[in-house]
Structure 1
Amino acid sequence: MAPNDSADTNGTAATAATGAGRRKAVRYIVPVAVAGVAAATIGLVPALASSGDPDLPEITAQELIEKIAASDTEQLSGTVKISTDLGIPSMGGLAGSLVPDAGGKDGASADPQTKLTELVSGTHTLRVAADGPDKQRVSVLDQASEYSVIHNGDQVWAYDSKSNEVYHAEQSAADHAKRGERPAAPEGVPTTPKALAEQALKAADGSTSVTVDGTARVAGRDAYRLVLKPEQSGSTIGSITVAVDAENGVPLKFTLQPSSGGKAAVDAGFTSVDFKKPAASSFAFTPPKGAKVTEADEAGGHGKAEAEKAKGGLSAFEGTNVIGKGWNTIAEIKAPGGAALPSKDSADVPAEAQQFLDALGDKVTGKFGSGTVFKTRLVNALMTDDGRVYVGAVTKDALVKAADNAG
């Protein structure tokens, strides 16, 4: 594949809609999400295919992004392989300790809010299907079990075949938000290349070089390669490559390379895909005989009780201040009244959770005082001893500088 000249020489910019709503920090862990990822300067140099790749018509980066935005494909089914290497331990065994409602006698082990967070580490195979905005299914396949989330109209079902437990919600996420409860299905946990690509293309502010870098074959489909690279220093993101279906504009593969090099931090792509209408049975679900069924309202009530017990922990954080812009965006979160974070000697911190945090942390000092930087290959967080958190897809030095400047 022949790379194009940098988009910087063209000076053309495209702006996409900003932002999804922010969530409060999860107790004891820093959310692993790309904060403030932006697409910006759009190159006008067309793609050129080398001899081993599909020979497709020339297209500019501007035209390719417009093609993604204009895609009206709402029906598909297929298999997605997603590999995530953020440099953190597997979340599977820690979910019960780190996240309220993660299971146990009072929780719901089939709760999507908990189960799908396991996708932040390791390699997983997903079977997906969609038929418009009201019918979707995602199944995470394991060697001897399967976990599925089925959305059909106002019904959301989740089933864990390993534990034979079912999670059910009838109300929409908006209804739950009005009542101060969690939505039935998780937000901000992308499970397809399209969802990941949309996050990376949310905003354009001049901080990104965007080019078309040749063509590829993905899941038997011809595709163009859209490449985003930050122009700012200090980001932990090296580049994002999105393989876009040449016919319908659907992102087929998403690859995020960290600036530190090595294997991709996130690599998600279809291994097979069909754009025909899925069978109606794909979105039908009846709880198996003998399965334990937990209603969303029951799990929500348990979550409130856990939140009360968590006062003074990270779940009590509120009031987010955004520092910087583009790829170097840092979120500053302050604890009410400057409450300090739970210490390693605190009886309120589960041993597994403390082990997880200690494996990631580096002690740092600066004008701000002292604190600990928790590292992944992508998102880093500085937790100060006086109860502030600085988090972003930036380096340790960038976090310390932001804390120093914040006073």
Structure 2
Amino acid sequence: MAPYASDDRTTAEPAGDPGPGRRRAARYVVPVTVMGVAAATIGLVPAIASSGDPDLPDITAAQLIEKIAKSDVEQLSGTVKVTTDLGLPDLGGLESSLTSGALGQGGDGSSADPSAKLTELASGTHTLRVAADGPERQKLSLLDGSDEYSLIHNGKNVWGYDSKSNEVFHGTVDEPAGDRGEHQPPATPKDFAEEALKSVDDTTSVTVDGTAQVAGRDAYKLVVKPRQSGSTVGAISIAVDHETGLPLKFTLTPASGGAAVVDVGFTKVSFDRPAASTFDFTPPKGAKVTEEGALEKEAERHAGKDSERPGKAPKSEEDLGKGLDGMKVLGEGWNSVATFDTGGPGLPAGGTGSDLDGFLGSLGDRVKGDFGTGTVFSTRLVNALITEDGTVYVGAVTKDHLVKTADGAK
């Protein structure tokens, strides 16, 4: 089926301002960590996998984005398939160790803590079961063979349960999940679409490219592409349910082509209200239960031990956050680059012959410019430059554009 509308950029204002409808719809599922900076800079494969090409009324890109914004779905259940391929190097378990260290748990944290457990979605293919009944009740389960990890929000309580270790995490919230700043990374096509549509401006092409059928539902295909050169983003494709306006599928590929970087879509979906018992949870007999505050105290205890070691300077969260407080954004649109000072010495410039130098050299590319010397670390979507003096430049841009931006900042 031919596209319904060519380039249509009259939607920049509603896409940039989520409005009550979009904020309301965003509450329907417990968020999960899939990836960080890539969430707002997504791409597409040209055609969404479908089992049909439904004949739907013509619609413009502006009307379709407005349809997404007005979507008020709050009750649903279904299955979501998530595939992520950032092209990260195989660090042989080092990644999980670094994650544990970054959380300050020193290996003593709970395996049911969502901030650690759900980082598994950053790579590979995973199946999720989701259910929601308004802003107060959501459940997400990560399936892994016979094992299952569930994250449940019911009223003021948030429960995480890891069946493999029989461990439970418990926390509380004062506001609905959709209104809270923490634990809010994307998990479903709706979450990703909301972030992606914030990028719609004069640097962006927006079209409607026919129809598809996703999870047995008829949908329109919205395509968003950067106009600028220098971005690693290819385009965005979002399958939008023609009845409810809910995004059903979302696919990301880089400008370099190849397999999708992120592919998130419903394989089954129902808009019936889930049974109230879906959101009930009682810790199983014999399960180890960890309260949210206990993890914070454990992190503080390990931070105190580190500060007592010879040659170890104490570092508080405030110290580590100083660089991010001074973050600046260089450039505009899809070519935006974030930069901040870590407050540390940065990375060695190379040529020292040390084991660390060799390890870093195997992971990144040494570069030089007006900014000095540094190392560029690359994924299929995001490039990051860390200079010898501790300055970081990161964006969904090519390595050449990143180095050029760093040169221009000096």
Q: Same fold (TM over 0.5)?
A: yes
Per the TM alignment, residue 214 of structure 1 is displaced from its structure 2 partner at its CA by 0.3
- Structure 2: where are the runs of 5+ without partners? 19-34, 44-49, 307-313, 351-355
Contact residue 42 and residue 233 of structure 2 kept, 8 A: no
SS at match of 2:264: strand
SS at match of 1:34: helix
Contact residue 131 and residue 274 of structure 2 kept, 8 A: yes
Structure 2 CA distance for aligned equivalents of residues 201 and 219 of structure 1: 23
Contact residue 32 and residue 120 of structure 1 kept, 8 A: no
Find out whether 1:254 has 2:275 as its counterpart. no
Instruction: State the partner residue of 1:341.
Output: 346
Instruction: State the partner residue of 1:376.
Output: 379
Structure 1 CA distance for aligned equivalents of residues 146 and 362 of structure 2: 30
Report matched runs for 1:156-305 at 5 Å: 156-172=158-174, 186-188=183-185, 190-305=186-301
Per the TM alignment, residue 164 of structure 1 is displaced from its structure 2 partner at its CA by 1.2
Matched positions, count: 366
Deviations 1:120-148 (A, max 9, x none): 11100000011111111111100131111
Instruction: State the partner residue of 1:27.
Output: none
Instruction: State the partner residue of 1:364.
Output: 367
Per the TM alignment, residue 105 of structure 1 is displaced from its structure 2 partner at its CA by 5.1
1:91–1:255 distance in 2 versus 1, CA, 3 Å = farther
Instruction: State the partner residue of 1:69.
Output: 69
Per the TM alignment, residue 291 of structure 1 is displaced from its structure 2 partner at its CA by 1.1
Per the TM alignment, residue 203 of structure 1 is displaced from its structure 2 partner at its CA by 4.2
Contact residue 236 and residue 258 of structure 1 kept, 8 A: yes
Q: Please give the root-mean-square deviation of Cα atoms over the aligned residues, in Å.
A: 3.1
Find out whether 1:12 has 2:18 as its counterpart. no
Instruction: State the partner residue of 2:122.
Output: 120
Structure 2 CA distance for aligned equivalents of residues 35 and 271 of structure 1: 21
Larger CA deviation: 282-291 vs 213-222? 282-291
Structure 1 CA distance for aligned equivalents of residues 63 and 273 of structure 2: 27
Instruction: State the partner residue of 1:385.
Output: 388
SS at match of 1:12: coil
Deviations 1:295-330 (A, max 9, x none): 111112233455675739966633211111211111
Contact residue 111 and residue 167 of structure 1 kept, 8 A: yes
Instruction: State the partner residue of 2:37.
Output: 33
Contact residue 170 and residue 289 of structure 2 kept, 8 A: yes
SS at match of 2:63: helix
Deviations 1:208-235 (A, max 9, x none): 1010000000000000000000001111
Find out whether 1:87 has 2:87 as its counterpart. yes
Structure 2 CA distance for aligned equivalents of residues 323 and 18 of structure 1: 22
Contact residue 136 and residue 151 of structure 1 kept, 8 A: yes
1:90–1:194 distance in 2 versus 1, CA, 3 Å = farther
**Superposition TM-score, scaled by structure 1 size:** 0.82
**Superposition TM-score, scaled by structure 2 size:** 0.81
1:395–1:51 distance in 2 versus 1, CA, 3 Å = closer
- Structure 1: where are the runs of 5+ without partners? 20-30, 40-49, 176-182, 346-350
Contact residue 51 and residue 213 of structure 2 kept, 8 A: no
Instruction: State the partner residue of 2:353.
Output: none
Contact residue 314 and residue 341 of structure 1 kept, 8 A: no
Query: Identity across aligned pairs (percent)?
Result: 58
